[in-house]
Each structure stands twice: as structure tokens, then as C-alpha cells.
Amino acid sequence: METCSLADLPEGSTALLDDFEMSPQLAEHLMNLGFIPGIEVTVARAGPSGDPRIYRIDGTEIALRSDLARRIVVRRRLLEGEE
């Protein structure tokens, strides 16, 4: 598995939430919304300009701006043939 930011994932892809690179207060707010380390996150779709993007967690859809999504670290499985 490789790590990247949530903002780096292409639309339709899924990854496991790994860590937060932000203040503890902001991380706690996201955890209250369902962004718990170890949970699966899917990039559902994006707004017309690409920002914000909609992420699906445990059946709930949540919109995040790219500046915040860049501070959320995820782990994704590499598909065969990817490096």
C-alpha cells in the first residue's frame, strides 16, 4: 500500500484513512463526521470546478475542500501494473 493525500485520489477510487496532518481540534471535528483512521473512504464526485469533492464514508457523503483533503493521509492499494 502506498500513502498519499485524500486530494490526490482519482474520482471513484477507494482508500483507507491513515492519519491527519492538522491541528488536533480540526482532526477531532473530522473524526466526529466519520473520518476515523482505518475507515474506507471513496471519492464519490466533484463539484463543477473540481472543488469541493464529495467523499463517501460508511454510507454518508461529506464535501471537503481540496486544501483540507490535502492534509488527510490515506493508504491505497496499488493495482496490478501500477508503481
Single pTM value for the model: 0.88
Each residue's pLDDT, cut to its tens digit, for the chain (83 residues) gives: 789 999 999 999 999 999 999 999 999 999 999 999 999 999 999 988 889 999 999 999 999 999 999 999 999 876 544 55
CATH number of the domain where residue 24 is located: 2.30.30.90
C-alpha cell at 43: 471519492
- Establish if 24 belongs to a structural domain: yes
Answer yes or no: is 82 within a domain. Answer: no
What's the domain count of the chain?
1
**81 located within any domain:** no
Residue 83 within a domain: no
Are the C-beta atoms of 9 and 74 separated by less than 8 Å? yes
Classify residue 12: in a domain, yes or no: yes
How many C-beta atoms lie closer than 10 Å to residue 43's C-beta?
Answer: 21
> Which domain does 17 fall in, by range?
2-76
